[in-house]
């Protein structure tokens, strides 16, 4: 096989930023590294790209190894190429972020990786440049969620409006006015109100909603402007 002469070789890897929602908080899934360097420290889940793999294929494989599931929403974030980013040898990493419903996948997360969920605004120190990856993923998530129904990928089959609002507030780290938020979400025509209520979290109870899957699929790439204005100071 012919090769380019006089060119040095280096490693190519993927890292996965996995966001999950448990009905109350937006969280990040990390693992404890099982080998040196930085054995025992917190890390994103990742791995090297195989000789016959694409980066997307490698990321999907890594996600399946951890969650046991196919079809997880995943999107390429960026490529990290700093020469000294890995302390062992030159490694270029292509980062992906994924969105999962914690309640759906919690029984399938492999304990072999010593996984842990941390609130998105309370992430521990991670190895290498993984904190930088997480911050960039949060920015990308905020940008896309303002325009598309991206965050619905994090929701269970049925959910309440307070749960939906708490998700958006966690992503944007701000408070939204309840009335404005409800009107904004209902105006998208993507939600179907159900007859049953969640009576565990309030005396009155909050109606459950589900996503209209046909409208959701048709509108996923539409610019719907999801985010209402934040609560005014003093309001």
Share of the chain above pLDDT 90, in %: 63
C-alpha 115/C-alpha 100 separation (Å) is 15
Q: Is the torsion defined by CA of 138, 144, 147, 152 positive or negative?
A: negative
Would you give the DSSP letter of residue 220?
T
- 18 has a pLDDT exceeding 90: yes
E strand segments, 44-138: 45-48, 73-80, 91-101, 115-119
Q: Phi/psi of residue 131, each to 5°?
A: -65, -35
Confidence of residue 228 (pLDDT cuts 50, 70, 90): low
169-185 pLDDT, tens digit per residue, is 999 999 999 999 999 99
Class of domain 11-145: alpha beta
The pLDDT score that the predictor gives to residue 83 is 93
84-128 pLDDT, tens digit per residue, is 999 999 999 999 999 998 887 777 788 888 899 999 989 999 999
Tokens of 176: 């939204």
Beta bridge partners of 11: 91
Contact 167, 21 (CB under 8 A): yes
Q: At what angle do helices 130-145 and 161-172 cross, to 10 degrees?
A: 130
The pLDDT score that the predictor gives to residue 112 is 82
- Closest Cα to residue 184, out of 151, 156, 140? 151
- CATH 3.90.79.10 residue ranges of the chain are 11-145
- 19 has a pLDDT exceeding 50: yes
C-alpha 145/C-alpha 209 separation (Å) is 19
- 232 has a pLDDT exceeding 70: no
The pLDDT score that the predictor gives to residue 235 is 40
- The answer as to CATH 3.40.190.10 being correct for domain 150-219 is no
| pTM of the complete model | 0.89
Tokens of 33: 């590294």
């Amino acid at each position: 096989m012919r090769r380019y002469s006089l060119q040095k070789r280096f490693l190519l890897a993927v890292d996965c930023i996995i966001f999950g929602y448990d009905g109350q908080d937006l969280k990040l899934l990390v693992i404890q590294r099982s080998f040196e360097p930085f054995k025992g420290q917190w890390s994103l889940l990742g791995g090297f790209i195989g000789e016959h793999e694409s980066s997307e294929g490698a990321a999907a494989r890594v996600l399946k190894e951890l969650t046991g599931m196919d079809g997880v929403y995943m999107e390429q974030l960026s490529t990290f190429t700093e020469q000294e980013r890995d302390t062992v040898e030159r490694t270029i990493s292509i980062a992906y972020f994924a969105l999962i419903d914690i309640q759906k996948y919690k029984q399938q997360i492999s304990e072999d990786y010593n996984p842990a969920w941390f609130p998105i605004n309370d992430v521990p120190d991670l190895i290498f440049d993984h904190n930088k990856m997480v911050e960039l993923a949060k920015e990308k998530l905020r940008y896309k969620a303002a325009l598309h129904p991206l965050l619905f990928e994090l929701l269970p089959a049925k959910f309440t409006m307070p749960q939906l609002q708490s998700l958006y507030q966690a992503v944007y780290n701000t408070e939204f006015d309840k009335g404005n938020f409800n009107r904004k979400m209902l105006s998208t025509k993507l939600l179907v109100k159900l007859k049953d209520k969640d009576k565990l979290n309030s005396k009155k109870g909050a109606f459950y909603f589900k996503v209209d899957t046909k409208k959701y699929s048709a509108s996923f790439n539409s610019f719907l402007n999801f985010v209402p204005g934040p609560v005014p100071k003093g309001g």
